[in-house]
């Protein structure tokens, strides 16, 4: 990324602690760009993350670089002089979204990306039987939250008796 943002690193070879923006900010923007790209790929039905051996990997890497470069350039004060003029950050941002749309127009299975296997995040069941089947799966990811884990002893619970049912 430093190769397209030379004006921001003032002669340094890369972003670091003394550059503006610093390497931590650039790293965060690279992570954000990756998240945008992978969210789009998932929405289009492809499995993520793509492996480095896929034919489209270099394109995705360049796309991520455009995203971070746009954020880096936009983090600096750039003055526009005339109507319709664009700053480097705005140009990189437009390039990112245009390239992302071009990516959407491609059949990426030919580039080595696999289609989504149909796996979905499980957020609950519609029946007790379905819930029990999910809980019996020894390969499932355990939930971070469970009903009752933040309850206080002696308080009312939603199942059974509740404060509103006592008024009847």
Domain ranges of the chain: 2-111
Dig out the tokens for 110 from the structure. Answer: 């030919």
d(CA 15, CA 9): 6
Task: Choose the most confident range, by mean pLDDT, from 81-85, 104-108, 143-147.
Answer: 104-108
Average pLDDT of 69-79?
A: 80
d(CA 45, CA 29): 24
What are the tens digits of pLDDT across the range 132-154? 887 788 887 777 766 667 777 76
Q: Is the peptide bond before 35 cis (omega within 30 degrees of 0)?
A: no
Q: How far apart are the first and last CA of the chain?
A: 67
Identify the weakest region by mean pLDDT among 29-38, 71-80, 100-109, 143-152.
Answer: 143-152
Residue 155 C-alpha from the chain's centroid: 39
Of the pLDDT bands very low, low, confident and very high (cuts 50, 70, 90), residue 18 is: confident
**3-state SS assignment for residue 1:** coil
Let me know: does 20 contact 8? Beta carbons within 8 Å: yes
For the entire predicted model, the pTM comes to 0.59
d(CA 89, CA 68): 10
């Amino acid at each position: 990324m430093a190769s397209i943002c030379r004006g921001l690193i003032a002669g340094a070879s890369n972003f670091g602690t003394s550059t503006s923006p610093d390497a931590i900010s650039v790293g965060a923007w690279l992570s954000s760009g990756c998240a945008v790209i992978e969210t789009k790929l998932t929405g289009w039905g492809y499995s993520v993350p793509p492996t480095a051996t896929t034919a489209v990997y270099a394109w995705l890497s360049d796309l991520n670089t455009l995203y971070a470069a746009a954020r880096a350039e936009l983090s600096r004060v750039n003055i526009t002089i005339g109507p319709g003029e664009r700053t480097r950050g705005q140009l990189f941002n437009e390039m990112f979204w245009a390239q992302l749309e071009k990516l959407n127009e491609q059949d990426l299975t030919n580039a080595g990306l696999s289609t989504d296997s149909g796996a979905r995040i499980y957020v609950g069941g519609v029946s007790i039987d379905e819930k029990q089947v999910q809980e019996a799966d020894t390969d499932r990811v355990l939930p971070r939250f469970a009903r009752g884990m933040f309850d206080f002893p002696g308080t009312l619970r939603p199942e059974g008796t509740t404060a509103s049912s006592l008024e009847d």
